[in-house]
Structure 1
Amino acid sequence: MSEAISPMSTEEEKGGSLTSPRLSYASEVVDPRRILRKLDWHLLPFVSILYLLSFLDRANIGNAKVAGLTTDLHLTGIQYNWCSAVFFLPYAFLEVPSNMALKLLRPSRWIPFIMVSWGIVMLSMAFVKSFRGLLAVRIFLGITEAGLFPGVTFYLCLWYPRAAQAQRVSIFLSAATVAGAFGGILAFGIERMDGIGGLAGWSWIFLLEGLLTVVVSVLSFFFMYDDPETASFLTTEEREWLLSTLKEDTAGSSKSFQWKFLTHALTDPYTYLYMFLYFFIALSAYSFALFLPTIITGLGYSAAHAQLLSIPPYVIGCLFTVACGVLSDRWRMRGPFVLLGALAGLAGYAILFATTKAVVGYVGVLIASCGIFPATACVLAWTGGNTGGDVKRGVVIAMTIGLGNIGGFAASFIYRTQDSPRYHPGHATNIGCLAAVAVLSAVGMYALHRVNRQKQLQVERSGITAEMAEEFSELGDKSPLYRYTL
């Protein structure tokens, strides 16, 4: 482009990137879709397995509870809640330092290292004998797992253009729903090992799942790639196209760490919009994961049936998460999927709150899973895609997920033993959180739409062209050429 950019098209308004001659030429030499498929095959399966194991290991305490953990350790209701909750305190506060370490060190070394660490901690959980022992191990699990989720979310943003991120983040996050289903199946089978080797069934849950984590973590040292610049599976032309696309798509890569980028993250009001969106949706998602077997038991089903009935909600949640990710990328919009997901989750919890019938309540569980998990994925894709510059993006993603895990801490206390079997306070809390997500997503879409319009007016009045992008690269997403995704 040699002339000023014309008024925004629909694609630009939704967050489409502005095409430069360099990218147009590159797209004639290489096939962008083939490049994305290569990235998918080389990155997504492995990082999804990593997150599956991470979510499995943090949430399996819910399956262990149903398998007799609280009885054998003589835990009161509040003691179990504390053991669930304490994981999230170090997890939340160590995410920003961990993402900064990921930026300074090699992902192919940092991520496997933290994974080996939490696998060893999970193995030790099989041998706890008291409330204090379980509490201590859960603290160390939070410390060691802290870097995986924000690290991989940031890692994916380093590889994929914004218009392709939601689908990939959704596939990555769908591993959590697979973990929920997989965890239910594993728990149902492993629980039958009660007494083998002198260990209780719940001990075998921790032991075997921890061992699986350690094995995969060792393999990850050999299978992870650091960044597009070192991707041996891409040709030289493909690598050049991807790097140039990412640079222009994110308005400057800011690869070197500078304190001003941390300041940009802390002073940007949209950082706090994403943080509170994720706080409320994460509270609902974590309460769902931690207490689903308990909620199903409260509907009148046996403990064994509760383990099995916890599988379908995760399967349905997985399908809806991937579908929403695909549609979100196709339409280049995030907010509407967050809004609709929040409303679906709200409807599910409203049914659980109102009904006394087991089947109707279980339908409410299924509806809630259709909304909570897709909304969670789209909030994270919205956050990463609307934050320009590698350093700022890494900090904002970590801050967002960090506050979200404070939501996980709160979620550990909303389903109390004394509230069984209806659990009205827990369901009401989730209804309120999901209503907040719906309101914040609507406000966010309106605010981002206004900013995009203001930027377009600035471009038109000042005669700014796409060739001038380098001049604004230090501004990141504040560049007049950068369009936020709604």
Structure 2
Amino acid sequence: MSLKDKSGVLVEEASAGSDNERKDYSNASLASVEDDPEKEDFSDIDEKKLLRKLDFRLIPLFTVLYLLSFLDRGNIGNAKIEGLPEDLNLVGNQFNMALLIFFIFYAVLEMPSNMILHRTKPHIYIPTTMVIWSIVMTLMGTVQNYDQLLATRALLGIFEAPLFPGISYLLSMYYSKKEILVRQAVFFSAATLAGAFSGLLAAAIAQMDGVGGYEGWRWIFIIEGLLTFVVGVFSYTCFPSYPKDCKFLTPKERRFVIHKVKYSTNAEPKKTDGEEMPQDINRAEDDSRDRKYLWAVLKDWQVWLQLLALYGVNVPLYAVSLFGPTIIHSLGYSTTESQLLGVPPYVLATSMCVLQSWLSARWGVRAPFLIFNILCICVGFAMCLGADAVSTPGVVYGGMYAISSGCAAYPLVVIWLSNNLSGSYKRALGMGLQIGLGNLSGVFASNFYRTQDAPQYKLGHGLGCGFAGMGLIVTVIIAVSYLGINKKRKHDIAQGKYDDVPPEDLIKMGDRNPYFLYRL
């Protein structure tokens, strides 16, 4: 077996996996692992059937919840061109401040929320926060002034904060690294899919203008808030807890899922007397909740560089999400046309997101796809910058397609970090930090497109291109660094440098384990 075949940098499968994968997890040799408390033979587990069960119960639910979350935070962009600023007498940058305040609370609370989630019951915590934010969303349709708009946007940020990092963490508890990428991609694609739904729903709901004495933009908030409320209440009946308490799995299936994820690391199989131990203890993850992992996350170079890479994708995503309807409207299209023309770019983005994530899983790499997508974003902003919005609006609209399609990189950059953090608690904290601070992207993007810059919006397009360029450079740096570290670790392993290190000590090292190889 080659070194690549032995390493964690394997070609991931989008489906349940090959027969070799089943053998890898279901083999009775699992029971021989010294630290395995179950000492259990999982050879009778039908992994493909179990995976289908998990997919059916988790992925559609999580995707719908995140779609509604992204829809509710972004529909203010649709409300803007339906007359919200005029009806609330907003002046200057007050609309931008209403966008910004959401992201301040949203970003700051995501990591603490994951710490709370790690110590509570997800099937109660997540649905409860969803019901509360749906009520806030509905009440936003009744605001009468700027202060009330600010207050509701702040509350929306507070109660939306737990959903995304929480579900991302839960997915990592149910799926191995061979299985998770496409599932997370489908979940994350709800962000782009929400853009398509947002335009369609806004165009339809805005026709209720005048019903009950409410303007059309108010009905956008009210109807979408009520929809979220219904789904939030329903989610109490089907939202899962942690695998150890999952009600739709049998006791043995629960133990198998926990075991499978525990040994789903990037670690190089250790050798004993020349024989590989495919489920050696040194490949297990430390699942303790030691506070040392908080410090480990804060001083981990890859967390901060991956955060910068996320900014390179997330800032453009929020820019087109919040201001896409405004940009299109400034090209001379009517309000309804602007809402509807915002749909096709997001349909393309959703398709690209799922397709590229599947290919990334198939080929076992992240960086090449990230680089391609960020280049698409740069090209899109360059098109918008170089075109005249009045004489060549089609070029600007084409740039919106390129930017939106490039946002398919969003799930890849989050999953890339998740794959390269070892230890369930460290991964939860690391993902919470990256996603939480990553959502400060909305703070930046909220101020890119100013009223006085219409219709060219040179400042906004230029800043978006700049962030994407930064993301491109950082992605290359991360990939080159991973290659260098992996090369050194492989060399040290071949030299037998760590042969005498006790497996228990290797586990505690997490992704600093010399047998752990970073995924590219």
Q: Give the alignment of 1:324-403 within 5 angstroms.
A: 324-356=356-388, 357-372=392-407, 374-403=408-437
Q: Give the alignment of 1:244-393 within 5 angstroms.
A: 244-250=259-265, 251-356=283-388, 357-372=392-407, 374-393=408-427
Q: For structure 1, which segment, 272-281 or 461-470, has the greater mean C-alpha deviation from structure 2 after superposition?
A: 461-470
Displacement of 1:232 in angstroms is: 4.1
The whole-number CA distance in structure 1 between the counterparts of 2:47 and 2:4 is 22
Relative to 1, partners in 2 of residues 1:354 and 1:10: Cα closer, same or farther, differing over 3 Å? Answer: farther
- Aligned residue for 2:35? none
Q: Conserved in 2, the CA contact under 8 Å of 1:248 and 1:469?
A: no
The whole-number CA distance in structure 2 between the counterparts of 1:81 and 1:91 is 16
**TM-score, normalization: structure 1?**
0.94
Relative to 1, partners in 2 of residues 1:232 and 1:466: Cα closer, same or farther, differing over 3 Å? Answer: farther
- Aligned residue for 1:3? none
Higher relative contact order (CA 8 A, sep 6+): 1
Q: For structure 1, which segment, 221-230 or 456-465, has the greater mean C-alpha deviation from structure 2 after superposition?
A: 456-465
Q: Conserved in 2, the CA contact under 8 Å of 1:252 and 1:474?
A: no
Q: Quick one: which amino acid aligns to residue 25 of structure 1?
A: N
* Alignment partner of 1:99 is 2:114: yes
Q: Quick one: which amino acid aligns to residue 440 of structure 1?
A: V
Tell me which of 76, 80, 87 is aligned to 1:65. Answer: 80
Q: For structure 1, which segment, 133-142 or 229-238, has the greater mean C-alpha deviation from structure 2 after superposition?
A: 229-238
SS at 2:241's partner residue?
coil
Q: Give ranges in structure 2 of 5+ residues lacking alignment.
A: 13-19, 29-41, 266-282
- Aligned residue for 2:453? 419
The whole-number CA distance in structure 2 between the counterparts of 1:253 and 1:218 is 35
Relative to 1, partners in 2 of residues 1:212 and 1:466: Cα closer, same or farther, differing over 3 Å? Answer: farther
- Aligned residue for 2:517? 483
Tell me which of 451, 454, 457 is aligned to 2:488. Answer: 454
Displacement of 1:240 in angstroms is: 4.0
Tell me which of 469, 483, 492 is aligned to 1:435. Answer: 469
Displacement of 1:459 in angstroms is: 2.3
The whole-number CA distance in structure 2 between the counterparts of 1:16 and 1:137 is 46
Relative to 1, partners in 2 of residues 1:466 and 1:415: Cα closer, same or farther, differing over 3 Å? Answer: farther
- Aligned residue for 2:93? 78
Q: Quick one: which amino acid aligns to residue 353 of structure 1?
A: L
Q: For structure 1, which segment, 135-144 or 22-31, has the greater mean C-alpha deviation from structure 2 after superposition?
A: 22-31
The whole-number CA distance in structure 1 between the counterparts of 2:284 and 2:292 is 14
Once the two structures are superposed, residues 307-350 of structure 1 have per-residue CA deviations (whole angstroms, 9 ceiling, x without a partner) of 00011111111000000111111111111111111001111111
Relative to 1, partners in 2 of residues 1:74 and 1:425: Cα closer, same or farther, differing over 3 Å? Answer: same
* Alignment partner of 1:190 is 2:205: yes
SS at 1:278's partner residue?
helix
Q: Conserved in 1, the CA contact under 8 Å of 2:114 and 2:162?
A: yes
Displacement of 1:464 in angstroms is: 5.4
- Aligned residue for 2:105? 90
* Alignment partner of 1:41 is 2:75: no
The number of aligned residues is 480
SS at 1:462's partner residue?
coil
SS at 2:174's partner residue?
coil
Q: Conserved in 2, the CA contact under 8 Å of 1:178 and 1:314?
A: yes
**TM-score, normalization: structure 2?**
0.88
Q: Which has more radius of gyration?
A: 2
The whole-number CA distance in structure 1 between the counterparts of 2:287 and 2:7 is 26
Displacement of 1:11 in angstroms is: 7.1
The whole-number CA distance in structure 2 between the counterparts of 1:338 and 1:430 is 16
Displacement of 1:471 in angstroms is: 4.0
The whole-number CA distance in structure 1 between the counterparts of 2:105 and 2:315 is 16
The whole-number CA distance in structure 1 between the counterparts of 2:342 and 2:457 is 17
SS at 1:342's partner residue?
helix
Relative to 1, partners in 2 of residues 1:41 and 1:19: Cα closer, same or farther, differing over 3 Å? Answer: closer
- Aligned residue for 1:111? 126
Q: Quick one: which amino acid aligns to residue 339 of structure 2?
A: Q
Relative to 1, partners in 2 of residues 1:459 and 1:242: Cα closer, same or farther, differing over 3 Å? Answer: farther
The whole-number CA distance in structure 1 between the counterparts of 2:361 and 2:134 is 34
Displacement of 1:279 in angstroms is: 2.1
* Alignment partner of 1:156 is 2:151: no
Displacement of 1:16 in angstroms is: 6.5
Q: Conserved in 1, the CA contact under 8 Å of 2:173 and 2:258?
A: no
The whole-number CA distance in structure 2 between the counterparts of 1:15 and 1:293 is 42
Displacement of 1:156 in angstroms is: 1.0
The whole-number CA distance in structure 2 between the counterparts of 1:45 and 1:38 is 12
Q: For structure 1, which segment, 253-262 or 112-121, has the greater mean C-alpha deviation from structure 2 after superposition?
A: 253-262
Once the two structures are superposed, residues 38-65 of structure 1 have per-residue CA deviations (whole angstroms, 9 ceiling, x without a partner) of 2211100001111011000000000010
Q: Conserved in 2, the CA contact under 8 Å of 1:7 and 1:456?
A: no
Q: Conserved in 1, the CA contact under 8 Å of 2:311 and 2:438?
A: yes
Q: Conserved in 1, the CA contact under 8 Å of 2:63 and 2:190?
A: yes
Using the aligned pairs only, state the percent identity. 38
- Aligned residue for 2:238? 223
The whole-number CA distance in structure 1 between the counterparts of 2:230 and 2:172 is 27
Q: Give the alignment of 1:459-474 within 5 angstroms.
A: 459-462=493-496, 469-474=503-508
Once the two structures are superposed, residues 451-478 of structure 1 have per-residue CA deviations (whole angstroms, 9 ceiling, x without a partner) of 1122222322237579965442222111
Relative to 1, partners in 2 of residues 1:11 and 1:126: Cα closer, same or farther, differing over 3 Å? Answer: farther
Displacement of 1:484 in angstroms is: 1.2
